Amino acid sequence: MEIVVSGIRSTGCLHLGNYFGAVQNFLKMQEDSNYHCFFFIADFHSLTTHPKPDDFRKNTNEVLVDYLACGLNPEKVVLYAQSDIPEIPELYLLLNMLAYKGELERVASFKDKVRKNEENVNAGLLTYPVLMAADILIHRAHKVPVGKDQVQHLEMARNFGNRFNHLYGNDFFPEPYPFTFTGTPITVPGLDGSGKMGKSDGNGIYLRDEPEVIRKKVMKAVTDSGPTVPNSEKPDAIKNIFQLLTLVSDASTVAHFEEAYNNCNIRYGDLKKQLAEDIILFNAPIKERIDGIIRDTDYQQMVLKLGAEKSRASASATLKEVRKIIGIE
Ligand code: ADP
Ligand code: TRP
């Protein structure tokens, strides 16, 4: 049996990047009896940007409701909020002793955050990969389903785990590797010509967006004047539209627009309309379930309580061993 851990930062509700980069894999893994899955809401991680208390709670809840509406089943997987597991911050503290300032400063996501937000370069941001490593190592995980942007963080988790093993002369922590059913972690693009759809990039198409909002977002997608030479390579902005189409539409629809592109008679207006309608169709059942779960706060509380109990049982067993290995007893 392999241990699987993954989480999503609770900075708001989930978008298509979260779904196709991460959640889609969670759903498949939960049905596979080879995996024991721990999926969580990374609410401590959201504190780097200092949300107000009401927003902190609201965001945690939104991710929980979206997880459940996507089909995560709290009876098949351990579903919990990171902040309900005090063993995680303790392991984070211990791992911080093995994490070096230089290597943390070289992390691409850190450099990116520094560039975008010079006035809030806090230590939590710098040690973000250490907290993430604690999330993973606390259950001694083997596989971590994530999007491409998290791959470097996982490399660091392996480094910290290996360093611990080496320092204390054991093989206590297994090496956690990224996992997706397609074989490689993906990046879901934004429609603003940028490489990645993201909450912080302000270009998200959310699972709970109203149809009208989705139509507006998609119709604004960056395009060009169209190909003039048959079978020419697509510029990035057009590739992005096609990539999203491949995720939400059926193969014949994609083939139809590919052919039109290759024959130079594609109409981007039609392509975007089709994409918008297919996203709306894709979201519809999820959105319907969100509307059902959102009001059932008792159910939400019950899920978090059950998840916290199961997660803490696993986390405290690991931490007990870690303390013993270090000599804290
Ligand atoms: P955001 O980038 O919107 O802040 P998160 O950083 O919370 O989203 O990402 C949560 C999970 O969703 C991670 O596993 C991440 O890799 C995945 N993810 C987020 N955006 C994308 C994307 N555009 N493509 C693929 N995966 C993504
Ligand atoms: N860093 C991830 C993100 O931005 C969230 C995360 C926190 C995570 N801890 C994790 C993902 C552990 C996988 C495993 O969404």
- Nearest residue to 318 (alpha-carbon basis) of 29, 94, 39: 94
Reply yes or no on whether 76 is catalytic: no
Atom of ligand 1 lying closest to residue 200 CA: 4
Query: Residue 266 is encoded by which pair of tokens?
Result: 């594609």
Reply yes or no on whether 101 is catalytic: no
Nearest CA to ligand 1 atom 22: 17
User: Is the shortest distance between the CB of 186 and ligand 1 below 6 Å?
Assistant: yes
pLDDT of residue 329: 83
Dump pLDDT digits (tens) for 245-296: 999 999 999 999 999 999 999 999 999 999 999 999 999 999 999 999 999 9
Q: For residue 77, give every residue at least 6 positions away whose Cβ sits within 8 Å of its Cβ, in sequence order, or none.
A: 26, 29, 30, 37, 38, 39
Whole-angstrom distance, CA of residue 6 vs CA of residue 132? 9
pLDDT of residue 103: 97
Write the CA distances from 279 to 28, 213, 245, 285, integer angstroms.
20, 11, 8, 11
Ligand 2 lining (C-beta closer than 6 Å): 5-9, 42, 45, 132, 135-136, 144, 146, 150, 153
Q: Which CATH architecture has domain 2-188+297-326?
A: 3-Layer(aba) Sandwich (3.40)
Dump pLDDT digits (tens) for 114-123: 998 899 999 9
Atom of ligand 1 lying closest to residue 149 CA: 16
Determine the average pLDDT of the residues in 226-248: 95
User: Is the shortest distance between the CB of 72 and ligand 1 below 6 Å?
Assistant: no
pLDDT of residue 24: 97
Q: Which helix (H) or strand (E) holds 302?
A: helix 297-326
What is the average pLDDT score of the chain? 96
Of the residues 58, 76, 196, 273, only one is catalytic, namely: 196
> Is the CB of residue 129 less than 8 Å from the CB of residue 309?
no
For residue 214, name the pLDDT band (cuts at 50, 70, 90).
very high
Provide the percentage of residues in the chain whose pLDDT is more than 70. 100
Reply yes or no on whether 287 is catalytic: no
Nearest CA to ligand 1 atom 20: 17
Query: How would you class 86 by CB atoms within 10 Å of its CB: exposed for 0-12, middle for 13-18, buried for 19 or more?
Result: exposed
Exposure string of 49-81, with b = 16+ CB inside 10 Å and e = fewer, is bebeeeebeebbbbbbbbbbbbebebeebbbbb
Ligand found nearest the CA of 205: 1
Domain boundaries, the chain: 2-188+297-326, 211-292
> Is the CB of residue 39 less than 8 Å from the CB of residue 71?
no
Dump pLDDT digits (tens) for 125-150: 999 999 999 999 999 999 999 999 99
Superfamily designation of domain 211-292: Tyrosyl-Transfer RNA Synthetase (1.10.240.10)
For residue 300, name the pLDDT band (cuts at 50, 70, 90).
very high
Beta strands 2-9 and 177-178, pairing class: unpaired
Dump pLDDT digits (tens) for 147-201: 999 999 999 999 999 999 999 999 999 999 999 999 999 999 999 887 899 987 7
Distance in Å, CA 133 to ligand 1 centroid? 17
Whole-angstrom distance, CA of residue 37 vs CA of residue 34? 10
pLDDT of residue 142: 98
